[in-house]
């Protein structure tokens, strides 16, 4: 059921977004900036100050995440997929390509 749901969601996203034509795998920071728009409700991209969640300026220069885990690309991806402590889960809301773009953008902050 879950698998079916995410397949349907992926198909809907692929049809709905011209960006899906872009091959997945390599992140594009410019596109990631747009993907980040809903995240900006809770995160400042240009400050370390807390909004709802931690400010993300300089995120990839940090050693640790707010949840105490080591700051690695995998753990940041995990945070985006799973959310937690007030952050929604984006696992089924973003395509893998959009997540790649988002990570590429977060690395520029
Ligand atoms: C409703 C508010 C909300 C939204 C929307 C949201 N987040 Fe979060 N986010 C949080 C909170 C709260 C935390 C802190 C979780 C914790 O303390 O473990 C967090 C943590 C994070 C972290 C870890 C930061 C750190 O220093 O440990 C990252 C990265 C992150 N969010 C990225 C995103 C991205 C990317 C999006 C959009 C796809 C997003 N968030 C959307 C609330 C939100």
Tens digits of per-residue pLDDT, 36-72? 999 999 999 999 999 999 999 999 999 999 999 999 9
- Tokens 């773009």 sit on residue: 101
Q: In sequence order, what are the residues at sequence separation of 6 or more whose Cβ sits closer than 8 angstroms to the Cβ of residue 94?
A: 13, 35, 80, 102
Q: How many CA atoms lie within 13 A of 98 on its CB side?
A: 22
Asked whether the predicted pLDDT for residue 24 surpasses 90, the reply is: no
Q: Is 88 in the pocket of ligand 1 (CB under 6 A)?
A: yes
Q: What is the pLDDT of residue 3?
A: 64
Q: How far is the CA of 85 from the centre of ligand 1 (A)?
A: 9
Residue 23 buriedness (CB in 10 A; 0-12 / 13-18 / 19+): exposed
Quote the CA–CA distance of 104 and 37 in Å, as a whole number. Answer: 15
**Minimum mean pLDDT among 16-20, 42-46, 57-61, 102-106: which range?**
16-20
Q: What is the pLDDT of residue 22?
A: 45
Q: Is 102 in the pocket of ligand 1 (CB under 6 A)?
A: yes
């Amino acid at each position: 059921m879950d698998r079916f749901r995410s397949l349907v969601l992926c198909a809907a996203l692929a049809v709905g977004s011209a960006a899906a034509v872009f091959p997945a795998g390599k992140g594009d920071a410019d596109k990631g900036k747009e993907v980040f728009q809903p995240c900006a409700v809770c995160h400042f991209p240009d400050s370390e100050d807390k909004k709802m969640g931690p400010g993300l300026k300089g995120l990839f220069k940090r050693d640790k995440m707010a949840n105490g885990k080591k700051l690695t690309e995998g753990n940041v991806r995990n945070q985006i997929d799973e959310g937690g402590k007030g952050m929604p889960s984006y696992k089924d809301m973003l395509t893998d390509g959009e997540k790649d773009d988002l990570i590429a953008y977060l690395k520029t902050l």
